[in-house]
Amino acid sequence: MSEITEQNAAGYSADSIQVLEGLEAVRKRPAMYIGDIGIKGLHHLVWEVVDNSIDEALAGHCTDITVEINENNSITVTDNGRGIPTGVIAKYGKSALEVVLTVLHAGGKFDKDSYKVSGGLHGVGVSCVNALSTDMKVTVYSHGKVHQQEYKKGIPQYDVKEIGESEIHGTKVQFLPDDSIFTSSEYKYETIANRLRELSFLNKGIRITLQDHREVDADGKSEIETFHSEGGLREFVEYVDSTRERLIPRPLYMESDKGPIPVEVAMLYNTSYSENVFSYVNNINTVEGGTHVAGFRRALTRTLKSYADKSGMLEKLKMEVTGDDFREGLTAVISVKVQEPQFEGQTKTKLGNSDVMGAVDQVVGEMLNTYLEENPKEAKIIVQKVILAAQARNAARKAREMVQRKNVLSGSGLPGKLADCSESDPEKCEIYLVEGDSAGGSAKQGRDRKYHAILPLRGKILNVEKAQEHRIYENDEIKNMITALGVSFGTEEGEKVLNLTKLRYHKVIIMTDADIDGSHIRTLILTFFFRYMRALIDGGHVYIAQPPLYLVKRGKEEKYCWTEEQREVAVKELAKDGKEDSVGIQRYKGLGEMNPEQLWSTTMDPEKRSLKQVSVESAAEADHLFSMLMGDEVAPRRDFIEKNARYAKIDI
């Protein structure tokens, strides 16, 4: 690392930039820098640029950020921060702006005096975005001047130049991702909106505006949404839990900015049976948890158990309570700011800094202890919930053991309805979860018997969102899925974990009818996987099959169509003489309507099929969505359906 001498340690100038290496490798191996070159990597470019603006806000120099999705799927991010420095770095003879945009690992983030904490600590940031964009333009408003530079695939088109004067301050970055690198070039509004909403909760007081210029209403106005939270994490847990019934009236809130590690925690208890803890380090979602989550859980268990013991409420309980029991029905958000976070784990999203555990433990322990003493009524309700959770956990353990013991006693233990494949290597094996016996019959006949297993599911599986855990293992269809997959449940460091070592298929494909019932069944299965087999989703094992909606025919010519637009194009192509009414259209409502050959060629043949891999971009948003879609509250579900009605086609 070559360092630049600081003339003003507390300032933010051209000399705050430190240079590590060049950009050559980014275009050759983009996935190493942004994760992948699919839809996830495409959106990662937006996060990199927005993170710079958020860091300016964390440093106290920015209040407003605007993100625009332009008609050509380019992105514009504007903030009212200080503006990227434009002065010349003597060592390079170039503007600091150009160095930041063209040299990997160059940025003010490596200088602790410029930024106390920062989300984009790897420093690849905007230079990576620049390398992976066909066009980028950066405009800087600072010290009464306006400077600009444009780039193509990371290469500056001219030196940084002054283009005018202005009293405003900030940075405007516009970039168009290189579609020769990314497999997908279309930005998803909801994905960006969810992340910006999350950032507004995590950074209270900042106003973030999202505008989509690709769609306009009858008045010519494009969709625009503003995210702004004064309550921060309090409002975050209320948002996540908005469709659940609360046990306590208000969230518990803890904040401490004393010492080197600022800690912020909000938590709320509800009547559900699941635990939802979302953790962040410098705005980065640590999906694998880490030392901050361990500190939170340690304090929660210790403080609540001490209070429950003193209250005498546990005396009649014939079993020991565990950490799991204190977290049933708990929704919590933990946010810490760490100067030099150390990440580990499979996806580098697990915090490893040991000193963070003690900092979180202390804050949560003190605040929670005070809350319990000052709110005896709420404290009693929480302890009663813990007792019920312990009893339910014991019943669930027995139910799980019954499922697993049954497998051992009955030989293979595989469900009778499972049509297994002959291949024994799980990496090559796939299982189709198919709705009903009719579709199951077509799938069994049409499959590749070597690699494809078929498990027909009878009717709709149990809605796990509304059921206690032990009831879930009594449901025949859920038992069949567990035994067919070969997974088992165990505990690790007191945590309930899903054991995937004996997973029999590395692709689990949900294949349901293309109608409302099929969508409901798919959502029920996904809810079960999300709540009880999350590791299956996180491991990239869950997929959704994409059967065609239409078969368009004219004579011997046939075209399968997956969208309305494809159907319209196919009709026009087959109606060569302009007579669209000699063209036949078959609408597939059920998989059973297809013969085995059709099902194979359109939906199951690895050479031709289209599968959607299920991933969880934002666990908090997914939790909110599942609880809203599968919970008891009707009004939020109706609002969601109405808002998304433009994506739905209702069959009459």
Q: Dump pLDDT digits (tens) for 576-617.
A: 766 667 788 888 878 888 889 999 999 999 998 988 888 887
Q: What is the pLDDT of residue 334?
A: 97
SS3 of 535-601: HHHHCCCEEEECCCCEEEEECCEEEEECCHHHHHHHHHHHCCCCCHHHCEEEECCCHHHCCHHHHHH
At 347 the pLDDT is: 65
312 contact partners, CB below 8 Å, separation of at least 6? none
- pLDDT value at residue 35: 79
**Amino acid at residue number 628:** M
**How many residues in total does the chain contain?**
652
**Residue 1 pLDDT more than 60?**
no
The percentage of residues in the chain with a pLDDT greater than 70, rounded to a whole number, is 88
Question: Tens of pLDDT along 416-462?
Answer: 789 999 999 999 999 999 987 778 888 999 999 999 999 999 877 88
14-228 CATH fold: Heat Shock Protein 90 (3.30.565)
Tell which residue, 335, 267, 266, 238, has the closest CA to residue 624: 238
pLDDT, greater one: 121 or 518: 518
Helix (H, G, I), strand (E, B) or coil at 431: strand
Instruction: Tell me the pLDDT tens digit for each residue of 507-517.
Output: 999 998 877 78
Picking from 143-157, 398-412, 520-534, which range would have the lowest pLDDT averaged per residue? 398-412
| 639 catalytic per annotation | no
- Say what the pLDDT of residue 135 is: 96
Instruction: Give the pair of three-digit tokens for residue 558.
Output: 């046939």
Q: What would the two tokens of residue 505 be?
A: 């298929």
Question: How confident is the model at residue 11, as a pLDDT?
Answer: 55
Judge contact between 80 and 170, C-beta under 8 A.
yes
- Whether 248 has a pLDDT exceeding 90, the answer reads yes
How far is 187 from 177, CA to CA, in rounded Å? 10
Given 235, 476, 517, 617, the catalytic residue = 517
User: Which of 260, 282, 442 has its CA nearest to residue 349?
Assistant: 282
- The yes-or-no verdict on residue 361 having pLDDT over 80 is yes
Confidence band (pLDDT; 50, 70, 90) for 626? confident
Q: Tens digit of pLDDT for each residue in 169-197?
A: 999 999 999 999 999 889 999 999 999 99
pLDDT at 642 over 80: no
Contacts with 411 (C-beta within 8 Å, 6 or more apart), sequence order: none
Residue 463, pLDDT score: 86
**Does residue 113 carry a pLDDT above 60?**
no
Q: Give the confidence band of 12 by pLDDT, cuts at 50, 70, 90.
A: low
Mean pLDDT, residues 223-238: 95
- Domain-wise residue ranges, the chain: 14-228, 233-392, 414-547+588-616
Position 372 confidence tier, pLDDT thresholds 50, 70, 90: very high
More confident site: 111 or 286: 286
How high is the pLDDT of residue 165? 94
Burial of 427 (0-12, 13-18, 19+ CB in 10 A): exposed
C-alpha distances (whole Å) from 578 to each of 33, 548, 559, 586 are 51, 25, 17, 20
Supply the mean pLDDT for the chain.
Answer: 85
In this prediction, residue 288 carries a pLDDT of: 86
CATH code for residues 233-392: 3.30.230.10
Q: What is the pLDDT of residue 523?
A: 87
Q: What is the pLDDT of residue 647?
A: 44
pLDDT band, residue 495 (cuts 50/70/90): low
pLDDT at 17 > cutoff 70: no
More confident residue, 146 or 583: 146
Q: How confident is the model at residue 492 (pLDDT cuts 50, 70, 90)?
A: low
Which residue out of 178, 513, 593, 623 is catalytically annotated?
A: 513
Residue 103's pLDDT band, with cuts at 50, 70 and 90, is confident
Average pLDDT over residues 259-283: 91
Q: Is residue 109's pLDDT more than 50?
A: no
Q: Which of 235, 238, 423, 515 is catalytic?
A: 515
Q: Which of 147-161, 391-405, 559-573 has the lowest mean pLDDT?
A: 391-405
Q: What percent of the chain has pLDDT over 90?
A: 45
Look at residue 576 in the predicted model and tell me its pLDDT. 73
Residue 378 annotated to the active site: no
- From the list 264, 325, 435, 593, the catalytic residue is 435
Least confidently predicted of 155-164, 315-324, 372-381, 572-581: 572-581
pLDDT at 9 over 60: no
Instruction: Work out the average pLDDT over 283-312.
Output: 92
Q: What is the pLDDT of residue 455?
A: 94
Task: Provide mean pLDDT across the span 44-50.
Answer: 93
- Can you give the pLDDT at residue 646? 46
Nearest C-alpha neighbor of 507 from the set 600, 606, 628: 606
Please say if 515 is a catalytic residue: yes
Q: What is the mean pLDDT of residues 280-303?
A: 93
Cα distances from 490 to residues 404, 405, 438, 479, 487, in angstroms, run 11, 14, 36, 16, 10
446, 447, 449, 454 alpha-carbon torsion, rounded to 10°? -110
Fold held by 414-547+588-616: Rossmann fold (3.40.50)
Res. 104: pLDDT tops 80: no
Active site residue 633: no
pLDDT tens digits for range 199-221: 999 999 999 999 999 988 878 88
Residues 6+ apart with CB under 8 A from 308: 314, 321, 383, 386
